[in-house]
Amino acid sequence: MRGKAAAANEVRQPVLVELFTSEGCSSCPPADALLAKLDSAQPIPGAQVIVLSEHVTYWDHQGWRDPYSLDSITQRQKQYASRFGLDDVYTPQAVVDGSAQLVGSDGRGLAQAVTRAAAAPKASLNIQDAHWDNGSVHFAVRGDGTESKTTLVAAVAEDSVQSSVAHGENAGKSLHHVAVVRVMQEMGKGSDDGRALTLKLPAGGQSGLSSGPLRLVVFLTDRHNGHVLAVAEQTISRS
């Protein structure tokens, strides 16, 4: 368990931190390292930080194609930009519980945003029967029955990856990422009622997977403003 020593006898509120990043951006490695530290050390009292590394595509034409970049993630970030009233998207950007955004390498600001998010109550959300089979993650989710007001989002992420960058702004660097999203999808209405769900990785995503474990992250968002109302994660072995 990440941050086991710090969290030994402490009740912690789950908080989702999404990092929009790119291997083609020279400003992103410090943010990637900060995300990994939040994930492993869990240094913020009262918070269980659930992280997702979300790689965008708009740096891919500047000398290095990020192997983890997804068009769907770029579109997700654009939706956030609209909600936050931003003129444009940027990296590295951290979004905390869908309700606050800041530069992803701002350690103090990120700690403050996570602390604020952890102080807010959340609904319960539980992952059940999660397992890997033939290129897909199968699972069920139990929530609080507020499906008329919420959207359930599910993501499958690689636990940890290492990448050697040959070109672009980070040429010659070896980069480490945690919780790298390989697929993210809105599930159907009322999907947090315990029904069987499946999240299939695209064929290209499967062939590029490392041999390590995966993370399944599920979260309920307010349909009107995108705020995260509940979040849970589970590590899935493929052995």
Residues 78 and 104 in one domain: yes
Residues 144 and 111 in one domain: no
In a domain, 131, yes or no: yes
d(CA 147, CA 128): 18
Residues 70 and 107 in one domain: yes
- Per-residue confidence in pLDDT tens, the chain, 239 aa: 455 444 456 789 999 999 999 999 999 999 999 999 999 999 999 999 999 999 999 999 999 999 999 999 999 999 999 999 999 999 999 999 999 999 999 999 999 999 999 999 999 999 999 999 988 999 999 987 555 689 999 999 999 999 999 999 999 999 999 999 999 999 988 899 999 999 998 765 544 667 789 999 999 999 999 999 999 999 999 87
Which tokens in the block code for residue 62? 């500047």
Q: Is residue 233 within 8 Å of 155, Cβ to Cβ? A: no
In a domain, 170, yes or no: no
The pTM of the full predicted model, rounded to 2 decimals, is 0.94
CATH number of the structural domain spanning residue 55: 3.40.30.10
What is the distance of C-alpha 198 from the center of its chain?
18
Which tokens in the block code for residue 223? 């349909």
CATH number of the structural domain spanning residue 130: 2.60.40.10
The beta strand positions in the chain, using DSSP E, are 13-21, 47-55, 93-96, 100-103, 126-133, 136-142, 150-164, 174-186, 197-200, 214-222, 228-236
In a domain, 168, yes or no: no
- CA end-to-end span of the chain, whole Å? 19
Closest CA to 168 of 20, 19, 21, 22: 22
Q: How much is the pLDDT for 232?
A: 98
In a domain, 4, yes or no: no
What residue numbers bound the domain in which 135 lies? Answer: 126-158+184-236
Domain count, the chain: 2
Closest CA to 175 of 75, 61, 67: 67
Residues 230 and 130 in one domain: yes
